[in-house]
Amino acid sequence: MFKSFFSKFKKDSIKKFSKDPVCGMRAGDEISSVYKGQTYAFCSGYCKEEFEKNPEAYIAK
């Protein structure tokens, strides 16, 4: 029971895995922002605000 729950959770995590471009942490999909047609996810509202202040600084590699 626990095992099946865990594998479902793990599968969902991989599917929805996104990296917070501001701090580099793993981000959920509750907090996100769309910039130039791309959706970026954040770990917190703070990171989202930082990203929206200057998106280019975070997506440029």
Binding site for Zn ion (CB under 5 A): 20, 22-23, 25, 43, 47
Least separation in angstroms between residue 60's CB and Zn ion is 17
Give the CA dihedral 39, 54, 59, 50, nearest 10 degrees. Answer: -70
DSSP string for 19-37 = E-TTT--EE-SSSEEEETT
Least separation in angstroms between residue 40's CB and Zn ion is 11
Least separation in angstroms between residue 24's CB and Zn ion is 7
The residue among 20 and 58 lying less far from Zn ion, judged by its C-beta, is: 20
